[in-house]
Chain A
Amino acid sequence: MSTIDVNGKQLEVDEEGYLANINDWEEAVADVMSKQDDLQLTSEHWDIIKFLREYYEEYQIAPAVRVLTKAVGKQLGKEKGNSKYLYGLFPYGPGKQACRYAGLPKPTGCV
């Protein structure tokens, strides 16, 4: 299994770069992963990453797109509560890219 270097620690990731162990996650993981994608994380990105982690902790799954956009709309204003805004932040798709940065497993299925 391949690994990524986070502050000197070697953390295991799967073939697609998702953390093998969710408990390995720390904020620096998102920084390292986003650098690999040439993406500069802003506070807007962090709002999403933190929401994903909170939701996962409660439900053991990433939130559905509609759940996520609604939460973002409530927190940051209605004009941001849509998937266009999320794709603007995470061009590889909010479900997959943001989950990876948040240390969550990749959503599977017909999505």
Chain B
Amino acid sequence: MAKPTFQVPELQEYLEIPSVTPGTMAHSKPFYSKPEFQKPLGFPEELVDNWQEKAIVKMGELLTKYKSVQVFLDACVKCGSCTDKCHYYIGTGDPKNMPVARQDLLRKVYRRYFTFAGKYFPSLVGATDLTKEVLDDWYSYFHQCSQCRRCSVFCPYGIDTAEISMFARELMDHIGVGQKYCNEIICKVHKIGNNLGLPGPALADTLEGLEEDVLDDTGVDVKFPLDQEGSEILLVTPSADFFAEPHVDGLVGYAKVFHEAGVSWTLSTEASEAANFGMFIGSYENMRKISQRVRKAAKDLKVKRIVFGECGHAWRVAYSFLNTLAGPWEFLDPNYPVPQHICEFTWNLIQEGKLKFDKSQNDDMVLTFHDSCNVARASRMGADPGGQFEIPRNVIKAVCNNYQDMDADTIKERTFCCGGGGGLLTDDLMELRVKGAKPRMEALNNVIKDKGVTHMAAICAICKSQFTKVLPYYGMDMSQIVSVHQLVSNAIVLTGQTDQ
């Protein structure tokens, strides 16, 4: 771990709401995008001339497209419910990280140009002109929102700050102010097929290596098929599953489950990415273009079902938007959900008694589960309400003897973001990421102390990478974050297995 250049928050026994320190995170902003990452996404290469005028025109356009945002901007009564709910406010004390204040950055400009009172009596209704100073604030503070939607759970009007932050980012992209991390990655997906820029031959080589590893470990020839036409299932998973730890251990788990289920499956080079950063930047067009790759892969490979791997926001896009973005899916088998989550797939097999486990293989760990925001608050899983909370826990409990939940105010629909979601998982925002992780780290630390928890499992590539990075800042070890299907992989007993 690098030495921090900022103060790492101290973990407390109880959640402490900090007093307000204005401007304490005003310096925080990610690297700006570059011309070569703007153009392929359909955005101007740099800040355009007469950008104020163009921004207001675009804002008007977007307001007619996204009526919800206009309702959110009009409905707030400043009740204060959201003020202490954001992990970035709790971690930094910067009042502009209170969700209502973050919304107000956009709201005050909306009022100035789109409401009667704001046009004629701006100072009476907190309306302001769109100045360079306001734009700089937008860039800074709309990149201090991970679009986790925790605040919206507590808002009596259901105002969704995530949608407002997506709206603001879309607006900025359209006047040539993009964020490097997201836009570079989206370029790579359009060009190569995944966030990493992992070309087909490298992916094939990586998968071959994993086949060798599993054969060495178990004596069973578990396949990791790529571009296998006519397979039953297309697995769409975050490219981090091919590349990083502990993600790859989850991928090994999926492969073992498919193997034991006796179902044919394949990965695809065309759709070698579940993530869809088009959502983070609020760009419907880019989100659609990325989703279309999944459709093309499913058609070309003539699969009957689509299963998504462990990726939080990808599951939101898949569960909530995929039909609009890339449907209809009339060519898939209607007996299965389109798409299905890997946890649901595994849980169904467990219930049918088709998988055999030796739970003692996970006895060196006491697990807890981190609900990822986009799974918890923006989707469901399986047939029953709350399935997105219960199914991953059921899978963990089916393969582990020791499980403990974290504090009830920090899990399920009240879960705290890992601190790195929403397109903020970049090294140039490390201070924000570490501070934003504080509430989650606190809840984890408390179950470590009180309930003997040793490891935390997650079903999101961003969460896993974020925790790998931030755990050491809080005196914990990076290996304490694990994939849910890594636990499945440890415990599953493969038919014909020689060695445990």
Residues of A whose CB lies within 8 Å of any CB of B are 15-16, 59-61, 63-67, 70, 83, 87, 91-92, 95-96, 107-111
Contacts and interface: CB of A to CB of B under 8 A. Distances in A.
Nearest to A59: B202
A107 B197 CA distance: 8
Contacts of A61: 196-199, 202
A95 B428 contact: no
Contacts of B199: 59-61
A65 B478 CA distance: 15
B1 to A, nearest CB: 6
A21 to B, nearest CB: 14
B197 A111 contact: no
Interface residues of B, number: 40
Interface in B178-211: 180-181, 184-185, 188, 194-199, 201-202, 205-206, 209-210
A107 B31 contact: no
B240 A111 contact: yes
Contacts of B188: 108-109
A98 to B, nearest CB: 14
Contact of A110 (B202, B425, B428): B425
A109 B185 contact: yes
A64 B427 contact: no
B213 A109 contact: no
B317 to A, nearest CB: 14
A101 B434 CA distance: 25
Contacts of A83: 245
B243 A109 contact: yes
Contacts of B425: 110
A70 B213 contact: yes
B244 interface: yes
B350 interface: no
B209 A70 contact: yes
Interface string B432-464: 000000000000000000000000000001101
Contacts of A15: 31, 180, 428
Contacts of A65: 243-245, 248
Contacts, number: 84
Contacts of A70: 209, 213
Contacts of B379: none
Across the A-B interface, the 7 shortest Cβ-Cβ residue pairs:
A109-B195, A59-B202, A110-B461, A110-B240, A111-B244, A64-B243, A109-B196
B2 A92 contact: yes
Where chain B touches its partner, the secondary structure class is helix
A35 to B, nearest CB: 16
A111 B205 contact: no
B465 A64 contact: no
Interface of B: 1-2, 31, 180-181, 184-185, 188, 194-199, 201-202, 205-206, 209-210, 213, 238-240, 242-245, 247-248, 275, 311, 425, 427-428, 461-462, 464-465, 478
Given A16-B428, A59-B199, A65-B244, A109 B210 contact: no
Contacts of A91: 1-2
A64 B461 contact: no
A95 B197 contact: no
Contacts of B31: 15
A64 B1 CA distance: 20
Contact of A67 (B184, B205, B464): B205
Contacts of B196: 61, 107-109, 111
A71 to B, nearest CB: 9
B206 A109 contact: no
29 contacts: A15-B31, A59-B199, A59-B205, A61-B197, A61-B198, A61-B202, A63-B206, A64-B242, A64-B243, A65-B248, A66-B210, A66-B245, A67-B209, A83-B245, A91-B2, A96-B427, A108-B181, A108-B184, A108-B197, A109-B194, A109-B196, A109-B238, A109-B243, A109-B275, A110-B425, A110-B464, A111-B196, A111-B240, A111-B465
Nearest to A109: B195
A60 B197 CA distance: 9
A53 to B, nearest CB: 15
Contacts of A96: 427
Given A61-B196, A91-B1, A91-B2, A110 B206 contact: no
Given A59-B201, A60-B202, A65-B243, A110 B195 contact: yes
A15 to B, nearest CB: 5
A66 B311 CA distance: 20
B213 A110 contact: no
A111 B427 CA distance: 11
B243 A107 contact: yes
Contacts of A108: 181, 184-185, 188, 195-197
